[in-house]
Amino acid sequence: MSAEVSVVPVGFLPLLDSALLVAAREVGFAAEEGIELVLVRENSWASIRDRLAVGHFAAAHMLAPMPIAFNLGLAPLAVRTIAPMALGLGGNAVTVSKSLWAEMSEEGARPDLDPASAGTALRKVLDRRNDETKLRFAVVHPHSSHNYELRYWLTACGIDPDREVELVVIPPPLMRDALAAGRIDGYCVGEPWNSSAAILGIGHIVTTKSRIWQSSPEKVLGVSEAWAMANPDTLDRLLRALYRAAKWCGDAANHAELAALLARAEYVNCPSEWLMPALTGQIQQGDGSIIAVADFFVPHDKGATFPWQSHALWFYSQMVRWGQVGASPKHELIARDSYRPDLYRRGLRSLGVALPGANAKVEGALTTAMPVGAAGASLVLGPDGFFDGKVFDPDHIVDYLAS
């Protein structure tokens, strides 16, 4: 370990899944690796992108599709960005207004977070509303898992997300106000912006990311490729610090302390009660009932920090599906190589922990938890199914898009 302390500036947005970064700094994992992790809070993903581009940040908390969009040239000003680590699995939910929930309930939606039941009911609500104004749903960014999940869910339930509803972009902390003011009817966002709406009686959580696609990617550590190439040793140390932080975040004994840390003014700046549901998986839906969702947010288990290239390729498939980028073998390679499992392994090898041997897996193939081949120790993955039973084979993207 180097005796010199490296200062690493990292940007983040006030969201629950900045947890790994916050814990790495506040619990001391970064310091143990000789890193002074300087966390800078930003207000938009655009600012994260801009400040990474001009070198203010070495790395940032990023929406998992962002590095792919950058490298495909879909974002202005972006520099080449790689994802050598994911920052956990899951963590989102879909929340609708109380009045829309009432309509959905009448059409048979069950208060059990089941995406199929909620989606079928929403379809019936749309049929009944017919020529009224379109229902409006918000996501946080066009290149976000929120956007792709919401579209996936709606489409699988027979709703055309481009024609039958309106999708808009709203920053996470402003979602709840927009819902309360009636400017939108629902949204897909990260925590604590679902739980806070449920707790304050403004919205009703209808389903979760983990129910739409179990064990699915959400945020990554996006690193400027130029910085990563110039500072390989610092990157390795950063990855080790974050891995230890992830393990700490995943330990139920630390949840209250983690919630208190994240609640602080310089981080998420909200009551710690809003953060506990996602950490414990005890989801308050908004009608007083609490539903246990064991893997609502998974910071560490199930290889949660491994940057699966099959995740990158699924995002690419959705970019193609929704017309954000043209399909081509070249684009597919750019998307795949935005995720860097090789750097993950290089950084963590010395820890002697479980490292997946493969770079990609068939998504949706594991219906139960499965021990897999891993270097160093045992690793259990899955279950990882899509709610509609479809399977994504990263070797057959064209067939997947045609299906």
Partner 1 sequence: MSRSALRILIIDENRIRAAVIEEGLREAGHGEVATIHDMTGIARPIAEIEPDVIVIDLENPNRDMLESMFQLTRAVKRPIAMFVDRTDSASTEAAIEAGVSAYVVDGLRKERIKPILDMAISRFNAFSRMARELEEARSELENRKLIDRAKGLLMKSRGLSEQEAYALLRRTAMNQNRKIAEIAQSLITAADLLGPGGDT
Binding site for partner 1 (CB under 8 A): 43-47, 50-51, 53-54, 56, 76-77, 140-142, 168-171, 173-174, 183
Q: Is the Cβ of residue 63 or residue 202 nearer to partner 1 in the bound state?
A: 63
Q: Is 263:84 a contact under the CB 8 Å cutoff? A: no
In whole angstroms, the minimum distance from the beta carbon of 319 to partner 1 comes to 13
CA-based R_g, the chain, Å? 20
Q: Which is nearer to partner 1, 54 or 294 (CB)?
A: 54
Whose tokens are 């229902």? That residue is 135
Neighbours of 335 (CB within 10 A): 26
Report, in Å, the least distance between residue 174 CB and partner 1: 6
How far, CA to CA in Å, does 401 sit from each of 52, 139, 196, 322?
A: 33, 23, 36, 11
CA distance 363 to 150: 18
323/329 with CB nearer partner 1: 323
Q: Would you put residue 97 in left (φ > 0), alpha (ψ -120 to 50) or beta? A: beta
Q: Which one, 321 or 346, has the nearer CB to partner 1?
A: 321
- Closest contact distance (angstroms) between CB of 139 and partner 1 is 9
Q: How far apart are CA 387 and CA 9, in angstroms?
A: 38
Classify residue 207 as left (phi > 0), alpha (psi -120 to 50) or beta: beta
CB-wise, 1 or 168, nearer to partner 1? 168
Which of 27/75 has CB closer to partner 1? Answer: 75
Mapping DSSP onto H, E and C, the string for 198-248 reads HHCCCEEEEEEHHHHECCCECEEEEEEHHHHHHCHHHHHHHHHHHHHHHHH
Strand pairing class (6-12; 59-63): parallel
Cβ proximity of 51 and 45 under 8 Å: no
- Classify the phi-psi angles of 326: left when phi > 0, otherwise alpha if psi is within -120 to 50, otherwise beta: beta
392 forms beta bridges with: 363
What token pair was written down for 174?
């402003």
Measured N-to-C along each axis, helices 115-129 and 145-156 cross at an angle, to the nearest 10 degrees, of: 70
* Residue 46: alpha-carbon gap to chain centroid: 17
Toward partner 1, which CB reaches closer, 141 or 244?
A: 141
Output the smallest distance, CB 119 to partner 1, in A.
24
CB of 374 to partner 1, least distance (A): 37
Compare residues 10 and 27 and give the one whose CB is closer to partner 1: 10
From CA 157, how far away is CA 122, in angstroms rounded?
Answer: 8
Whole-number minimum distance, CB 55 to partner 1, in Å? Answer: 8
Residue 222 Cα to chain centre, angstroms: 13
Least distance in angstroms from the C-beta of 77 to partner 1? 5
Residue with tokens 């629950």: 16
CB of residue 323 to partner 1, shortest distance in Å: 11
The burial class, CB within 10 Å (0-12 / 13-18 / 19+), for 19 is buried
Judged by CB, which is closer to partner 1: 90, or 171? 171
CB of 47 to partner 1, least distance (A): 6
Cβ proximity to partner 1, 142 vs 192, nearer residue: 142
In whole angstroms, the minimum distance from the beta carbon of 368 to partner 1 comes to 38
